[in-house]
Structure 1
Amino acid sequence: MTIVGISIKALKAKKLSSFLSVLLVAFGMAIITTLILVSHQLTQKLESNAANVDAVVGAKGSPLQLILSSVYFIDFPTGNIPLQNFEEIKRNKMVKKAVPIALGDSYEGYRIVGTEPSFLQLHQLQIAEGKLWSKNFEVVIGADVAKAKNLKLGALIYGSHGLTTGAEVHEEHPYRVVGILSKQNTSADQLVLTPLSSIWGMHHHEEIIEEEQDITSILIQYRSPVSTVLFPKMINEQTSLQAASPAIESARLFSIVGIGFDVLHYFAILIMVIAAVSVFVTLFTSLKERKYDLAVLRILGASKQQLFFMMLIEGVILTFTGALLGLAAGHTLVEILGSLDGASQVLFSGYLFLNDEFYVLWAGIGLGIIAAIIPAIQVYRYDIAKILNN
């Protein structure tokens, strides 16, 4: 029998203690894997959603709320502003592109966004099926909306008042699906896009007058880097509006979320250290019962070096098994989190594998080796003659 085979049999003889050691390693590894996957995907989504948006202009209020509602579509707007403000900002020399959006309604949890074709250009969205809208109450839907609700071109959908499910449904004005966006892996996948006039017409059954043409916010793309400093200062000081930076507010948001990630990260490291101690205790306590067996192995021809490596192998088997189970559990948990709410704007996938995970896997194996070093040295120093005499 090989040294590896003997190591496995020795661990099987201590099923409970071996199981607890593996369980601790798996638990710590699962937490670390989950944190790595969630933080990476969250950061990636924050960056991809705001990639081409330099600023957002909207009603006074919380800058973070303005960004969350207009860029990530996961909060309520700070209020509405007159369409006239958009026309004025669009003519500003510091602005390269200005895109209006109007929020207020939703379709079974998915937000209906009134906008212009420039919204698709700004976010580099591609239509996979159908075409862009050409008249009121035509919509282009995101890939996730089409998949979740099994919608095809020509399908009729009904919006409801408000941004949550269960509100009053506008049955008098159905929307017709004329286009489906290709998968973007951004919040656009879960949007229902329609002309601004559809939003205004939905809430005003008679002819729309200019005073009723409100929008929620304006997405801005600067003409030059100098505008980054000058434009927000001008808007915030000289108008009744506010300008917020997605980059700044996203960093602020992630710093808040990051505190919780740090706490869980340290907790996971603590569990891994405890797991290493558990591996050490399992191996060390088993030595007293195995002294005679180890002495017999020496008599049968096993060298001190072979017994030394046998103990190391036992530590590696415990931590490697736990680490693999933890990796699988972490990916499974992330996939479950991503599928809990199909209308969520921040979806996570458990099918993503990152290099950082393998570094953590090697670190876990390293802990197993460290935990097994002292028992291995103890075995190396055994006096076989003395053990057999006793």
Structure 2
Amino acid sequence: MNLFKIAYKSLRANPLTTLLNIILIAFGVGIITILLLASDQIGQKLDNNSKDIDLVVGAKGSPLQLILSSIFYIDFPTGNIPLKDAEALERNPLVKAAVPLALGDNYNGYRIVGTDSGFVRLYALKLVAGRFWKSDFEVNIGDDVARSQHLKVGDRFFGAHGLTGNGDIHRNHAYIVCGILSPQGNVTDNLVLTNVASVWRMHETKEEHVDGKPEPYENGEREITSLLIQYRSPMSVILFPRMVNQSTSMQAASPALESAHLFSLIGIGVDTLQWFAVLIMAISAVSVFISLYNSLKERKYDLAIMRTMGASKIKLFLIIIFEGVLLTVIGAVIGLVVGHLTLELIGRYQDSTQAKLSGNVFLVRETYLIGVGFGIGLLASIIPAIQAYQSNISKILAKN
């Protein structure tokens, strides 16, 4: 006697009820799957992108906005800071290294970042083709930029003013791709990197000639967007941010603190949705219990006949258990698949190129959801199974 086959045929006998229970389980597991994948990827992006960056210095404003714009490139900068003030900070004995950033343009939504060789060292960037930039308007592009925009070494393109959109294209200078970065698994995959002078020259409003070379100025003084700081010693953690915030016109923001704050804000919504998913799965457990309980009433005669044909009490018990477990495990597997597909669709239609989510990621924790489905099926079917085990054959047959 194949118990699984009997359980499967029993579920097929009530297709609408079976389908409803599977949908409930799949919906709850799907939501939890999306939350697990999204929170894990967001956490990894926060860690990978802010790795080895101790502090970000920029214009006064929101510290979180400064971190989002200068490390994750998903917000507008708080403003610009004078180059001479930034250079003074670079010379501070508390600073080990300082990497300048000059933002303001994009190419089809990918941000163009003016920086220096310190950025290459900070993220340990490597090339799959070409070389690193040397001259103005030479760029290195991230792996995602190269693939999505179909760019190769030697290609030219025009940047557009602003961090999104192509409304104001700078046609006075074309950027030249001189190198393509290897995949890094962080924000650099979505960036276009060049030197700071290229950004200045693209936005110059007047020129002043020094030693025969044009020097671009913005409002009479050269500016950058922010500085990425690495500390020289643990003492810098205490002294340097306070010095910047109290003694200069700039602000200092800690990536670790602001990322934790951001994740805590995200966590509120994640927790709410998780409880919603748990509620759905609890409802599905009740639904499975009710359907098995009602099914047992209708099948008492069939089960009694099975007993007369040699089926033991334990086999009847296991048939009911298998029905509940089979129902919920199928729902859990479908939920996992739907969760991954849904997140992949969400990622493909995201506007931001810097915070894309993917459904092509599998976590060990997801296997626990199959166990949860198994547990729900076992819990929901235990009472109907006990009743099947304790059924009185003679009374049931006498009534029929």
TM-score interval (norm. to shorter): over 0.9
Deviations 1:35-86 (CA, angstroms, capped at 9, x unpaired): 0000000000011000111000011100000000000000000000111122
In percent, how many aligned pairs have the same letter?
53
* Displacement after TM superposition at 1:372 (Å): 0.2
Q: 1:57·1:241 contact (CA, 8 Å) conserved in 2? A: yes
| Ranges of 4+ aligned residues in structure 1 off by more than 4 Å | none
Partner of 1:133: 133
1:8 paired with 2:8, answer yes
User: For the Cα contact (< 8 Å) 2:201–2:216, is it kept in 1?
Assistant: no
Q: Report the equivalent of 1:369.
A: 378
Q: Which moved more, 1:227-236 or 1:338-347?
A: 338-347
1:148–1:342 CA contact under 8 A, matched in 2: no
Q: Secondary structure at the match of 1:208?
A: strand
Residue in structure 1 matched with residue 221 of structure 2 by the alignment: 212
Residue 317 of structure 2 corresponds to 308
SS in 2 for 1:75: coil
2:241 is aligned with 1:232: yes
Does residue 65 (structure 1) correspond to residue 72 (structure 2)? The answer is no
- Unaligned runs of at least 5 residues, structure 1: none
Unaligned runs of at least 5 residues, structure 2: 208-213
Closer, same or farther in 2 for the Cα pair 1:84/1:69, shift >3 Å?
same
Within the candidate set 316, 325, 328, 1:319 is matched to 328
Query: In 1, are the aligned partners of 2:74 and 2:352 still within 8 Å (CA)?
Result: no
Per the alignment, residue 123 of structure 2 pairs with 123
User: Does the 8 Å CA contact 2:141/2:177 hold for their aligned counterparts?
Assistant: yes
After superposition, where does 1:1-390 map in structure 2 within 5 Å?
A: 1-204=1-204, 206=207, 207-209=214-216, 211-341=220-350, 343-390=352-399
Deviations 1:190-249 (A, max 9, x none): 110011000011112742256432100000011112211111011111111110000000
**CA distance, structure 1, for counterparts of residue 285 and residue 296 of structure 2:** 17
Structure 1 pair 372–331 and aligned structure 2 pair: CA distance change class (3 A): same
* TM-score, structure 2 normalization: 0.96
Distance 1:328 1:226 in 2: 50
Rounded Cα–Cα distance in structure 2 between residues aligned with 1:111 and 1:378? 66
Q: For residue 344 of structure 1, report the CA deviation from its aligned partner.
A: 2.0
Q: Which segment drifts farther, 93-102 or 200-209?
A: 200-209
- Between the aligned partners of 2:21 and 2:284, the Cα distance in structure 1 is 6
Q: What is the aligned-residue RMSD (CA, Å)?
A: 1.1
What does the per-residue CA deviation read over 1:104-149, in whole Å, with 9 as the maximum and x for residues that have no partner?
1111111000000110111111122110111101000111000000
CA contact (8 A) 1:279 1:372 kept: yes
Q: What displacement does 1:166 show?
A: 3.0
TM-score by length of 1: 0.98
Distance 2:350 2:199 in 1: 26
SS at the partner of 2:177? strand
Q: Give secondary structure in 2 for the equivalent of 1:128.
A: strand
Deviates more, 1:202-211 or 1:151-160: 202-211
The answer to whether the 8 Å contact 1:200/1:212 transfers is no
Question: Aligned partners of 1:191 and 1:261: how far apart in 2?
Answer: 29
In structure 1, what is the Cα distance between the partners aligned to 2:139 and 2:372? 51
